[in-house]
Amino acid sequence: MAALGDGDLEALEGLYDRYSTLVFSVSLRVLHDTQLAEDVVQEVVLRLWRQPSSYDPTRGRFISWLMSVTRNRSLDELRRVTRRLRSEDLEEEPGRELPAPEGVDDPQAGLLLAERRAAVRAAMTRLPPAQRRVIELAYFGGLTQVEIAQATGDPLGTVKTRVRLGMQKLRESLEEFINEDGAVDDGGGIWT
């Protein structure tokens, strides 16, 4: 991060090469629009370039911060264009899925990050579909629980229970990736 502060373009290229695919993928999952997702990648990367201090290492790991910024910026864009698309209504996202085997040879994010991705994907897959759905609508769709209840036709209490149970199960499944102090361990690297 200090190198970014010094205006080191090679550091920025390193950051881009390591994380841009992940940032793009998350943004695409929220926006379902390749062009808008690329805009978000550009904004997130240039924000770090212009203001490296926007990431505060004392408040958590870089990957957590980056995912949070990416999601929030994508949701802002989603609300701005008032595209409230929901995952169940969508065809496969545009773009080419990377052929690399998950968790073994991820060319963009590094082995440790890929392992975590594989673990999170597995944990999400193990959730009952109804629980996974409400969590994805909240996280990627930016919907409130009231809006989820309206969208799915389920009682609000049921939505709340599904969120709770789903988050509990994710917590149990992913416990090994959370340090004792609550910070997510993203496996070290230049940004931790």
- Interaction residues for another protein, span 121-140 (CB under 8 A): 121, 123-124, 135-136, 138-139
Q: Which is nearer to another protein, 150 or 190 (CB)?
A: 150
Give the nearest distance from C-beta 16 to another protein in angstroms.
6
The answer to whether 31 contacts another protein (rule: CB under 8 A) is no
Please name the residue that has the structure tokens 């959730």. Answer: 127
C-alpha 138: how far from chain center: 12
Q: How far apart are CA 42 and CA 24, in angstroms?
A: 9
The answer to whether 189 contacts another protein (rule: CB under 8 A) is no
* Residue 77: strand, helix, or coil: helix
Give the nearest distance from C-beta 189 to another protein in angstroms.
15
The answer to whether 150 contacts another protein (rule: CB under 8 A) is no
Q: How far apart are CA 112 and CA 110, in angstroms?
A: 6
Q: Which tokens belong to 182?
A: 């609550």
Q: How far apart are CA 87 and CA 134, in angstroms?
A: 11
Give the nearest distance from C-beta 183 to another protein in angstroms.
7
Q: Which is nearer to another protein, 145 or 154 (CB)?
A: 145
The answer to whether 158 contacts another protein (rule: CB under 8 A) is no
Count of residues binding another protein (CB under 8 A)? Answer: 80
Would you list the DSSP string of 27-51? HHHHH--HHHHHHHHHHHHHHHHH-
The answer to whether 79 contacts another protein (rule: CB under 8 A) is yes
